[in-house]
């Protein structure tokens, strides 16, 4: 099967690409480091922002604090810094001056003394980004705590046990391990690993097909007494090998950045030894065949290098879909999911990150499933140029 023509084309494409230093830098080196570094940066930022809001002294703008002096004392005792508001509460939230504004109803004191529910108003924007919600939750918790504290006192004064109010008590047993908590943040890590793979093979997929067509060297190439399938197979093999190279570098970069993940400050562990990284490599390897073949097919259909670049760039977002799905719907994996390329890599890598045992059967299904789809695409890709109208750019 491995013919001289295949080897000749493969060697030439690899050598030509290595000579193009700028492309090597941007696709292979950048592709392999971008993913892990971006993942690290994103996680670090989200952790840091959440931590700041949760630990910092809460600054709470309150309107009409004078109507609720006991509540004021309670808040101050809980280390809340009460500040005055110049604007209306609505404007303060709209202008993003504050995450949350508390307003005391004029009848607060009167309701309080008559043992009626006293009213306070909470202004916030539920659609605001992550860290703002932390402030809202903290204010709600503070007021609820104050409310039940006073409620309990009222019952006791009337000789009633406050326990009567609590019909059911929930005792929480959170089974999340320290490692699985960390994994929530790392849900999208598989995407960053897969992205590198796609970036590594992207350039060669375009250059060996649409690029060669545009530079008008495809016609002379096909005039040699070798089958077009062999020539395309050599090109595809070169494309895939650069995807593989980038994948290996990505995993090395990932392993190197691992100690920098802010695991301690979140009280989680993220321990991936070399065997785990090796297993990641094993399940990701067959994906190189699929990535290279898809990219080659798309590039081969394009009329010019630029057109191919536009479409092939979009392909990088395909592996994002399963990552997103898994982030929002944590479903129990089923056999068809393990057999679906990209989705299966996402599931298995997530299992590894969460510190769960990965079953060898699933690894086998994942590899076979990906190789099957990748093989089909490759079979199609190497036959594309057997069609005459694919040969010419004009």
Partner 1 sequence: MITAEHISKSFGDVQAVKDVSLVAEDGKITALLGANGAGKTTSMRMIYALITPETGVVTVDGINSTDNPVAARARMGVLPDARGLYLRLTALENMAYFGRLQGMSEADIKSRSEELVSRLGMEKFANRQTDGFSQGQRVKVAIARALLHDPQNILLDEPTNGLDVMSTRAIREFLREEKARGKCILFSSHVMQEVSAVCDEITVIDAGAVKAKGTEAELLRLSGQDNLEDAFVSLVTTSTLSGANP
Q: Which residues bind partner 1 (CB under 8 A)?
A: 4-5, 8-9, 12, 15-16, 19-20, 212, 215-227, 231, 388, 391
- Shortest spacing between CB 26 and partner 1, in angstroms: 16
Q: Which is nearer to partner 1, 19 or 332 (CB)?
A: 19
- Shortest spacing between CB 31 and partner 1, in angstroms: 20
- Shortest spacing between CB 15 and partner 1, in angstroms: 8
DSSP state of 26: I
- Shortest spacing between CB 222 and partner 1, in angstroms: 6
- Shortest spacing between CB 248 and partner 1, in angstroms: 24
| Mode of pairing for the β-strands spanning 100-104 and 58-63 | parallel
Query: Among all chains, which residue has been given the structure tokens 């093979």?
Result: 201
Q: Which is nearer to partner 1, 37 or 221 (CB)?
A: 221
DSSP state of 119: P
**Separation between Cα atoms, residue 388 and residue 194, nearest integer Å:** 34
Q: Which is nearer to partner 1, 7 or 81 (CB)?
A: 7
Q: In what order do the strands lie in the sheet with 100-104?
A: 80-83, 58-63, 100-104, 120-124
- Shortest spacing between CB 5 and partner 1, in angstroms: 6
Angle between helices 305-315 and 274-301 (to 10 degrees): 140
CB contact set of 60 (below 8 Å; sequence gap of 6+): 75, 80, 81, 82, 83, 100, 101, 102, 139
Query: Among all chains, which residue has been given the structure tokens 């670090």?
Result: 44
**Separation between Cα atoms, residue 76 and residue 146, nearest integer Å:** 12
Q: Which is nearer to partner 1, 15 or 153 (CB)?
A: 15
Q: Which is nearer to partner 1, 95 or 388 (CB)?
A: 388
Phi, psi of 103 (to 5 degrees): -125, 135
Q: Is the dihedral of CA 222, 380, 9, 4 positive or negative?
A: negative
Q: Which is nearer to partner 1, 16 or 97 (CB)?
A: 16
Give the CA count within 13 Å in the CB-facing half-sphere of 214. 17
Q: Which run of H or E residues covers position 372?
A: helix 360-383
- Nearest Cα neighbor of 334 from 307, 358, 363, 362 is 362
- Shortest spacing between CB 230 and partner 1, in angstroms: 9
Is-contact 232 382, C-beta < 8 A? Answer: yes
Q: Which is nearer to partner 1, 16 or 59 (CB)?
A: 16
Q: Which is nearer to partner 1, 172 or 394 (CB)?
A: 394
- Shortest spacing between CB 227 and partner 1, in angstroms: 7
**Separation between Cα atoms, residue 237 and residue 287, nearest integer Å:** 13
Q: Which is nearer to partner 1, 222 or 379 (CB)?
A: 222
- Shortest spacing between CB 193 and partner 1, in angstroms: 30
């Amino acid at each position: 099967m491995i013919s001289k023509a295949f080897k000749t084309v493969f060697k030439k494409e690899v050598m030509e690409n290595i000579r193009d230093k700028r492309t090597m830098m941007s696709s292979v080196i950048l592709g392999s480091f971008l993913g892990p570094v971006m993942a690290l940066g994103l996680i670090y930022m989200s952790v840091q922002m959440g931590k700041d809001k949760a630990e910092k002294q809460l600054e709470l703008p309150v309107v009409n604090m004078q109507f609720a002096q006991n509540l004021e004392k309670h808040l101050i005792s809980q280390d809340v810094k009460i500040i005055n508001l110049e604007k209306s509460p609505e404007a303060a939230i709209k202008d993003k001056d504050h995450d949350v504004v508390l307003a005391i109803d004029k009848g607060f004191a009167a309701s309080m003394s008559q043992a009626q529910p006293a009213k306070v108003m909470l202004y916030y924007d539920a659609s605001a980004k992550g860290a703002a919600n932390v402030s809202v939750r903290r204010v709600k918790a503070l007021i609820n705590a104050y409310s039940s504290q006073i409620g309990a006192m009222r019952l006791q004064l009337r000789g009633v046990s406050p326990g009567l109010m609590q019909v059911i008590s929930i005792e929480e047993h959170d089974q999340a391990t320290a490692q699985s908590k960390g994994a929530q943040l790392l849900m999208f890590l598989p995407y960053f690993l897969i992205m590198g793979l796609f970036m590594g093979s992207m350039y060669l997929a375009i250059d060996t097909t649409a690029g060669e067509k545009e530079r008008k060297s495809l016609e002379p190439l096909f005039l040699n007494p070798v089958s077009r399938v062999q020539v395309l197979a050599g090109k595809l093999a070169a494309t895939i090998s650069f995807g593989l190279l980038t994948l290996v570098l990505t995993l090395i970069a990932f392993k190197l950045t691992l100690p920098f993940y802010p695991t301690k400050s979140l009280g989680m562990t993220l321990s991936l030894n070399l065997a785990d990284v090796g297993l990641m490599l094993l399940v990701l390897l067959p994906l190189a065949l699929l990535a290279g073949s898809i990219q080659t097919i798309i590039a081969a259909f394009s009329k010019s290098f630029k057109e191919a670049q536009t479409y092939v760039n979009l392909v990088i977002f395909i592996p994002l879909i399963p990552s997103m799905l898994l982030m929002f719907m944590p479903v129990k994996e089923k056999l068809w999911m393990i057999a679906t390329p990209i989705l299966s890599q996402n599931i298995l890598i997530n299992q590894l990150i969460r510190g769960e045992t990965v079953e060898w059967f699933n690894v086998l299904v994942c590899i076979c499933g990906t190789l099957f789809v990748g093989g089909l695409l490759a079979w199609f890709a190497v036959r594309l140029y057997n069609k005459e109208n694919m040969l010419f750019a004009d």
